[in-house]
Amino acid sequence: MKTLLLLYLCAYVTWAQDGLDYDDYDWDARSSANNASATVDARGHRPVIKGRETYNTNKYVPPPISGGGRYRGRPTAAPPGGRQEQVKVEQPEAGGCTHASEEMGVLCPTGCELKTALLKQERNVRSSINQIKPEIDELSRSSNTIFNYIHSMSNSLRERQRVSNENDAVIGRYTDQVEQQHAYIKQTVDTVFPSNIRVLQGVLDKIKQKIQRLEKAIQAQKDKCKDPCITRCPIPVVSGKDCEDIYRRGGVDSQMYLVQPDASVTPYKAYCDQTSHNGGWLLIQNRMDGSVDFGRRWDEYRRGFGNVAFASEKGYCERPGEYWLGNDRISKLTKMGPTEVLIEMQDWTGAKVHAQYSQFTVQSDVSSYVLSVGGYSGNAGNTFLEGALELFGENRTMTIHNGMMFSTFDRDNDNWNPGDPSKQCSREDGGGWWYNRCHSANPNGRYYMGGKYTKQMSKHGTDDGVVWMNWKGSWYSLKAISMKIRPYFQSR
């Protein structure tokens, strides 16, 4: 009985102290790390182990749309002084506290996302308190029972002492045993129980303090999000089917515009770069400061998310934010006719390079947005068509992105054992992308400050940063990268 009682108390206190440090948002990382295969090499590919895994390339890759362009050469610019000044119409809009707005462009403080994490943490801590309270009550009841037992033993001892005068020889033997039990139990009640109760009380007090801090933080976030966020950017008068159309209509300033590819599509906001490489570029992806989380679900990548643009001193939205335009919109724009893509990137020293493909098509949702590219030029390295140049043979082949379906952590379409949750590129590499097995480019990966990062810094021990392997390798996360598209036409 003595041994079992002590073991129970020790195990209970150990469980209570361990439970105090549990964080719900760390559980995914710990469970994923435990389930990860020990043979995974943390590079831009996954090695083939003969006899256990095989690598199958896509049998058919749909070619990108090519041929005659939607536009002829741009008309000759009007003489100086003949251009009419654009009129800025103030049309402020109100939005809610959400980053994935259907309308795109609603700006919210990034602290709003903390609210979700804090609420999740609060639910977990409350659950831990609800579990520990019955145990403390049970321990209190047990303590009362033992106290009653001590009093009963004390009464029995006094009774035996009265009888001992008549029969000292017989009663003495039993008295010694009772006194030993009495001393042991009294010591346990006077020292062990109060000590354990104090420990448990300390655990409970720490949990209460943690809840109070969470409640205070949540209330602070609620106060900040009480008023709706407002984008004070006038919507330009000029709009069009795409940014090239807007450029030809006189919208030559780089800023946010309304785009409507055809009458069946609701107009939406997008950022137009009207200066780089002769302008006409519609920004479909942008990373520059890590302010937007790109580890999103399939539906969010389908609709689009992030902040299209920010206001500047000039009074309009000329600074692009971090955002993904949306796979449905990208597919619609690229399937209207021949399309080219410009990928510009910058490292943490300020050096810049680019990759340009004269043919760029994203298929529809039915085919999981298969990527088709062709006609590379630039100085960043042809990762889409050639894969990682630092690899050779089949290892390089499995890093080619052309012909791949789009993958997110909740919809696995990559070539790394599809359907196996322990071998999933998007979950390990931080974002949605046209993963093969796995990548030579990872523009939607996790954002690391400073450039170089290590296996120990990454969540799963893989090269999950904003990577373009043919320029900076696997373990260098770029400071900025953007993807822009425009209709392709020969004469420029």
What single string gives the DSSP state of each residue in 397-427?
HTT--TTPPPBBTTB--SSSSTT-TTS-HHH
For the cut 80, the answer to whether the pLDDT of residue 227 exceeds it is no
- Give CA–CA dist 326/302, Å, rounded: 5
Mean pLDDT to the nearest integer, 26-37: 39
How many structural domains is the chain composed of? 2
**251 plus 187 within the same structural domain:** no
pTM of the model: 0.62
**104 plus 184 within the same structural domain:** no
What pLDDT was estimated at residue 191? Answer: 81
Three-state DSSP state, 350: coil
Is residue 3 exposed (0-12), middle (13-18) or buried (19+ Cβ within 10 Å)? Answer: exposed
- Give CA–CA dist 56/63, Å, rounded: 19
**462 plus 446 within the same structural domain:** yes
Strand (E) or helix (H) holding 372: strand 371-378
Any domain includes 186: yes
Domain interval for residue 397? 49-73+88-108+230-487
What pLDDT was estimated at residue 155? Answer: 81
Cα atoms in the Cβ-side hemisphere of radius 13 Å centred on 381: 19
Mean pLDDT to the nearest integer, 230-257: 86
Query: Which tens digit of pLDDT belongs to each residue from 265-321?
Result: 899 999 999 999 999 999 999 999 999 999 999 999 999 999 999 877 666 788 899
Q: Strand pairing partners for 354?
A: 344
DSSP annotation of 38 reads T
Any domain includes 36: no
What contacts 485, CB < 8 A, 6 or more positions away? 281, 282, 284, 330, 333, 334, 339, 340, 341, 342, 360
Any domain includes 194: yes
Supply angle C-alpha 262, 266, 271, rounded to 5: 85
Of 224, 240, 258, the residue that ends a domain is: 224
Q: Strand pairing partners for 268?
A: 259
Any domain includes 318: yes
> Does residue 62 contact residue 70 with C-beta atoms inside 8 Å?
no
**284 plus 301 within the same structural domain:** yes
What's the CATH number where 322 sits? 3.90.215.10
Any domain includes 167: yes
b/e 322-333 (16+ beta carbons within 10 angstroms → b): bbbbbbbbbbbb
**167 plus 193 within the same structural domain:** yes
Region of poorest pLDDT, from 38-47, 176-185, 259-268, 382-391: 38-47
> Does residue 347 contact residue 479 with C-beta atoms inside 8 Å?
yes
> Does residue 354 contact residue 445 with C-beta atoms inside 8 Å?
no
Any domain includes 40: no
What pLDDT was estimated at residue 202? Answer: 85
Mean pLDDT to the nearest integer, 21-39: 37
Query: Which tens digit of pLDDT belongs to each residue from 162-213?
Result: 766 666 666 667 777 777 887 888 777 778 778 888 888 888 888 888 888 8
Question: In this structure, are strands 268-273 and 281-287 parallel, antiparallel, or unpaired?
Answer: antiparallel
Mean pLDDT to the nearest integer, 86-109: 47
Q: Which of 379, 438, 392, 386 is nearest to 412 (CA)?
A: 438
Region of poorest pLDDT, from 172-186, 207-221, 338-352: 172-186
Any domain includes 344: yes
**339 plus 218 within the same structural domain:** no
**416 plus 323 within the same structural domain:** yes
**192 plus 332 within the same structural domain:** no
Residue 293 tokens read as 């989380």
- Give CA–CA dist 47/157, Å, rounded: 77
Region at 402 (left for phi over 0; alpha for psi -120 to 50; beta for the rest)? beta
The residue with greater pLDDT, 131 or 435, is 435
- Give CA–CA dist 16/235, Å, rounded: 57
Of 178, 203, 224, the residue that ends a domain is: 224
Any domain includes 157: yes
For the cut 90, the answer to whether the pLDDT of residue 94 exceeds it is no
* Mean pLDDT score across all residues of the chain: 79
**164 plus 134 within the same structural domain:** yes
**395 plus 482 within the same structural domain:** yes
Query: Which tens digit of pLDDT belongs to each residue from 387-437?
Result: 999 888 888 999 999 999 999 999 999 988 766 777 889 999 999 999 999
Residue 110 tokens read as 């990034």
- Give CA–CA dist 287/205, Å, rounded: 43
What pLDDT was estimated at residue 75? Answer: 66
Three-state DSSP state, 239: strand
**235 plus 264 within the same structural domain:** yes
Of 163, 189, 224, the residue that ends a domain is: 224
**213 plus 255 within the same structural domain:** no
